[in-house]
Amino acid sequence: MGNSFGITLDDASLRCAAAEGVSESVIAAICLLDEKSVNEVVARLTTAELEQIIKIVGRSPRGYPPGAYDALKEHRRTPSPEHAANVSAVTQPRQGPPEREPARHCQSLRNHAQSRLD
């Protein structure tokens, strides 16, 4: 199937995509929220994929970088470049150790994303 980010997902992440009923691109994007700004991630998504990510991240927003959930929702409403620049200033990639509760769903996916940072 592949994904629009060109990263290889592990088997657990692929199973998570199947369990959630979403594409590999959606799961790859969720992995990358810890590494890249929301703008960088959203730029490669379709409108439908963005909606799926908003739904998944919305289940446990504290498991993602601060401001990521709100920034994802802002992209739903306003696609203008000026607004996108304002949103990215708030949602830079996380640096340092995680300080929030990890998302409960697809924990192996979160571990995979973290291992890519190490």
Question: pTM for the whole thing?
Answer: 0.66
36 found inside a domain: yes
Backbone angles phi, psi at 101, to 5 degrees: -70, 130
The answer to the question of residue 26 being in a domain is yes
Decide if 4 is inside a domain. no
For residue 16, tell me if it sits in a domain: yes
Report the domain count for the chain.
1
Range of the domain at 107: 11-117
Per cent of the chain over pLDDT 70 is 64
pLDDT at 32 exceeding the cut of 50 = yes
Contact present, 59 and 89 (Cβ < 8 Å):
no
Would 15 be classed as within a structural domain? Answer: yes
Residue-wise pLDDT for 79-94, tens only, equals: 445 545 544 444 455 4
